Structure formats: C-alpha cells, structure tokens
Chains A and B, each alone.
Chain A
Amino acid sequence: MTSRQGRAARLDVEAHAAAGDELGRWLQATMRDELGIADDEVCAQLELAVHEIWVNIVEHAYRDAGGPVTITAARRGDQIVFELFDHGRDFDPRSVPEPRPERAQVRGFGLSIVRSLMDQIVYEHTADGNRWQLTRQLESA
C-alpha cells in the first residue's frame, strides 16, 4: 500500500526476496514522481542502498521467514531520507565480516555498499523492532 503526504511516500511490503521487484518499482516511481529526483544515476544508487537494507531485514531480522516492513521516503530541500521499519530480531553489525575485495569473499558487501552510497546511516533497535534511517544530500543544481 502506498500513501502520499506532500513530498513523501510510504510502502508496506512483505520481507521476502520475491518482493524485491515491487520495492524497486516503488522506489523508482517515488524518487522521480514524489521526490523529484531526475538524475538516473542517483536514482540507481539510492535504489541499491535501500534494497540492501531491505535484504538485510529479510535475512537477518526475519531470517527468511517473512514479516512486515514499512518503508518511507521523504525529501527535505536537497536532503533525501529513507526509513525502514521492521519487527524482527535486532541486528548486530559485528555479525557481518568487513569486506575484503582482495579476497573476493562472498559476504559482507551489503552494508559496505550502503555506507558508500549514503551520507548518514542510523540504526536503532526499539521495543517495537528495528529502525533504519538513510540520508543522502543531493548536489544542488
């Protein structure tokens, strides 16, 4: 379900790998139509960042058993803010190995990719679940 509030949008989606396509279509439409981001490269980067956190929720918070995820997207001036909420297990960043490209390891690249693409990442575990906030400052035209 998607709702609109000015330059903001919300998606409620099931945490299942098969829903990645739905998430991608919503993100692309929201970034262009609701948040007014015209740069294809920036849209691709932001989609990848949000998708990686969502995959993290699918695998770590819900351990591939599924569960509800709420994603919001908002624009405040040139600042883009995505938030993802889930009710799964808390996330321990220490459980993910640091990526080492020289060893071409299989795990550990998701969060590293997000850190490269966003200006700020906030994670907090509350009584209701987990909240991720991703912020990116757009370059002024």
Chain B
Amino acid sequence: MDIAVKSDGSHTVVALQGRFDAHEADPVRERLVGAISAGAMALTLDLSGVTFIDSKALALLVRSQKECREGGIALTLASPSSPVQLIFELTKLDRAFHIVDEPTLAESA
C-alpha cells in the first residue's frame, strides 16, 4: 500500500492507495499517530484509492476514531471507494464516522 501525507499544520490528509488489510493496518496507524504527534488537530483519511479493505483495517478505523474523539481531534473519512462502502454497508459502521466526498485540507478551516 502507498501512503501519502499532506499537511497544512493543524490539518493532515493521509491518502491510502492499494490494499488496506490486516498486514497494512499497523503502517497506517503509525502515520496517523505521527500526524497527531506533529500537532494535527484534524485528520482526514482519503480512502478513494483503497482497492480492498478487511475487518482488521476497519477495526483500526474504529479504534482511531475513538482515540481521536478522546483526544479532541477531528477524524474525517473522505471518498470511500467501493470496497470501503461495501464493508460499511455490511457492518453499518458508516454511522460511526464523519464521511465527506472530497479530502480537501480547506474543509477543516
């Protein structure tokens, strides 16, 4: 999986490209933790390039959402691809997240 990070200081966009499964969950978590450590108060996860997602990656999203909420950090999921939409549909977990169509840095302004 390719992970691209863009930041304007307080808002960081992490874009995932490729397979997001049990094997890739830890690297993604490291990037999210790194962004928070760097001072991000808003995180957007761009899921438009995700070609496959499993329940372990979904669990990472749930855990991240919980930790961000507890830390006062806004976590947004952007542009979920078809595989992401499928797993949300099956688990009904989309209701647990703030989901937007486009992953723009400006949305946190």
Q: Which residues of A contact B (CB under 8 A)?
A: 17-18, 20-21, 24, 41, 44-45, 47-48, 51-52, 55, 58, 99, 101, 104-107, 109-110, 112-113, 116-117
| Given contacts A47-B52, A55-B56, A113-B91, A20 and B63 within 8 Å (CB-CB) | no
Size category of the B interface is 20 to 34
| Residue among B21, B63, B65, B92 with most chain A CB within 10 A | B21
Q: Which residue of B lies closest to A20 (CB)?
A: B21
**Whole-angstrom distance between the alpha carbons of A75 and B88 in the complex?**
28
A104, B55: Cβ atoms under 8 Å? no
B62 interface residue (CB < 8 Å to A): yes
Chain B residues with Cβ below 8 Å from A112 are 90-91
Min distance, Cβ A106 to any Cβ of chain B, angstroms: 4
Given known pairs A101-B91, A104-B96, A109-B91, the reply for A55 and B19 (CB within 8 Å) is no
